[in-house]
Amino acid sequence: MVVGEAFTKLRYDRRVSPRKDASLALSVFKLVDGIPDLFDVRALGRSAYRQARDILTQYIDQSFSYVDAVVFTIVDDDPTLDQILTVDGRDFTIYRFAHSVQIVMP
């Protein structure tokens, strides 16, 4: 989900891809595939959907995306995940994780 969101942002943001050239956006996949230890790719179960929906309901006054909420659930469910790289720094600092998590913003 996160890779898909990053691809879409890079693909259609005119500041990044003014000619709507997919080359830069495709680099997201090369990055994930080329450095397997850099990113943790996980399968999602139905419980992640329900938990994300519950987070969006609880934080109804915030601008969290669905993908943000799914990431929150994955991190909350795994105490070994203690660092997140995101461009949504504000959203990730507002959410209260179940354990200590370092938010890294480029």
If you write DSSP's letter for every residue of 32-72 in order, what string do you get? HHH-TTTS------HHHHHHHHHHHHHTTTS---HHHHHHH
In a domain, 41, yes or no: no
| Residue 61 banded pLDDT, cuts 50, 70, 90 | very high
> Which whole number is the average pLDDT over 13-28?
80
- Please indicate, yes or no, whether residues 69 and 89 belong to a single structural domain of this protein: yes
In a domain, 68, yes or no: yes
Total of domains in the chain: 2
Tell me the pTM: 0.78
Type of residue at 91: D
Give per-residue pLDDT as tens, 23-58: 888 888 888 888 777 777 788 888 899 999 999 999
- Please indicate, yes or no, whether residues 64 and 94 belong to a single structural domain of this protein: yes
- Please indicate, yes or no, whether residues 21 and 55 belong to a single structural domain of this protein: no
Domain that holds residue 29: 2-34
| Tokens linked to 19 | 């000619």
Does 54 or 14 have the greater pLDDT score?
A: 54
- The mean predicted confidence, pLDDT, of the chain is 87
> Which whole number is the average pLDDT over 63-72?
92
